[in-house]
Amino acid sequence: MRIKTLLIAAATVSAVCAQEFKVPVSEDCEPMQKGDFEPTWESLRKYETPQWFRDAKFGIWAHWGPQCVEGSGDWMAREMYMEGTNKSNYHRQHYGHPSEVGFKDILPLFKAENWNPEELVRFYAEECGAQYFFALGNHHDNFDLWDSKYHEWNSMAIGPHKDILDGWAKAARKAGLPFGISFHADHAWTWYEPSRRFDLKGEKRGVKYDGWLTKEDGYKPNADGTEKWWKGLDPQKLYAQNHDLSDGTWDNNSIHGQWGWGNGACTPTREYVSNFYNRTLDAINRYNPDLIYFDVTVLPFYPLSDAGLKIAAHMYNRSISTHKGNNNAVVFGKILTEEMKEALVWDVERGAPNKIMDRPWQCCNCIGDWHYNNGIYNSNRYKSAATVAKLLVDIVSKNGNMLLSIPLRADGTPDEKEIAILKEFGKWMKVNKESIVGTRPWKIFGEGPIADSDIKINAQGFNDGQYSKAGAKEIRFTQTDKHLYVTALAWPDNGTISVKALAEGSQLYDGKIKKVELLGYGKVNFDRTTDALTITLPAQKCNDIMPVLRISK
């Protein structure tokens, strides 16, 4: 997930409309559904974000798969092949050398033995206030978490022997939540290139890693004469390395500059692109997601291929056909031009713009690492409930939603620290939900030192650390037809909150203020002068996170 690329794949939409794609996708196996939308930017720009998503504001994501087995964090299936890195050292010490025990051999250890999707999703909905739920369909590790029709390396055939997406989809629908799937496997093409490396030092210097293996190698017996567990499977269908290496492939960081398929990234074949397209449409057609997410620049394989445009058009047309003529679908894209933001919902990773956006958008964030990380657990580095709430309030004030990932252990369970954080956040959410769900931005999103700062987005986000530092002087606004909500992002030490935007005579708020209520408490005293609206809070805090005030005319 944590890609940092500054590339924008296209300069203008008009240039894209006229281009011929270098790697056009094949629809021979999975035809794109026809309908109101065509796979062009001009057509996709007719998209309107559905009302349900604009109202939802908060979702929870199970970014969970076989990379959670070792508990060393995100991207371990790539970094285990990077000699000398922490993840590589951990893998060698606990599992073996990557020439003998590669990521393919970690897959059978992913059992999901304690996974209870219905219980988890019900907890997220009822106790945490989640309004939609996301599941991982595949990650850059190229392992499909469903009974995949077009990919033999999947969770029904290997590991859990369960259709993970089916379990999540049924649980979400039972809880009454819209269901989303994230797809990341398009980048396995370059992401797995380190699997074709070899040690540069030590006793195994020059010994190739298992990214060189082929299906034929699986029929060769082990040293003790036993059969290989993966006999009959093709490791190249997993690692996807039957191609020339990208420029700078031994540079561990070069992939970030190549995320948009430029700067010397090896161009994927039509067969590879079409396989990802087929797998994605297979999952969409089976599980009928309301939302789909891609961890890419703009759309999958863009601008090399029309695959992503066809997936988006298929998603929208299918939604219209199954929702009585209404398009209730959401497709996310990162690093978008203004024109592209009319066709897709803009996703910002671990961050936010510092202004109200005209169109709804989403921040995807995580309370820890994207894949389960024992180091974060042991060092108590999860985001606190207060930090999660601060980020949510800030995002919603700017017309955004927050999708929060809760890392699960390989067995399918959150740890007790995560549960405690969610319960504390959920307690706050139950009382203050009316200031979040179903609201819209006010005339300004907020006031305070951070609101008044020029905070830049780094690539596709990565500026959330600025917002998590917000204190009591940081104010955020949301509104409904009836009320204005004022949230201070921490409890003030002096027991009062001053809001300049609501001063007597302010051009932002014309009219009288008849009543101010602290949610979870009741009416509170206030004084309105030409300098500010000053609210006196009760001596006893009514929650442990932050106060939310309801303003009535």
- Rounded Cα gap, residues 431 and 373, in angstroms: 32
pLDDT at 461 over 80: no
Mean pLDDT of 443-469: 86
Which pLDDT score is estimated for 123?
Answer: 98
Confidence of residue 463 (pLDDT cuts 50, 70, 90): confident
263-302: burial string, b at 16+ Cβ within 10 Å, e else: bebbbbeeebbbbbbbbbbbbbebbebbbbbbbbbbbbbb
CB 24 within 8 A of CB 305: yes
Which pLDDT score is estimated for 359?
Answer: 97
Mean pLDDT of 254-282: 97
The alpha carbon of residue 59 and the mean position of all alpha carbons in its chain are separated, in whole angstroms, by 10
Which pLDDT score is estimated for 510?
Answer: 87
Q: Could you report the per-residue pLDDT of 159-169, keeping only the tens digit for each?
A: 999 999 999 99
Two tokens, residue 374: 């024992």
Confidence of residue 19 (pLDDT cuts 50, 70, 90): low
Two tokens, residue 87: 């993840």
pTM above 0.75, yes or no: yes
- Rounded Cα gap, residues 383 and 345, in angstroms: 26
Which residues fall within 8 angstroms of residue 465, CB to CB, at 6 or more apart? Answer: none
| Helix (H/G/I), strand (E/B), else coil: 243 | coil
| Helix (H/G/I), strand (E/B), else coil: 168 | helix
Sheet containing 526-528: which strands, arranged edge to edge?
496-499, 533-536, 526-528
For the purposes of burial, counting CB atoms within 10 Å of the CB of 101, is it exposed (0-12), middle (13-18) or buried (19 or more)?
Answer: middle
- Rounded Cα gap, residues 487 and 293, in angstroms: 30
pLDDT at 16 over 80: no
Which pLDDT score is estimated for 111?
Answer: 98
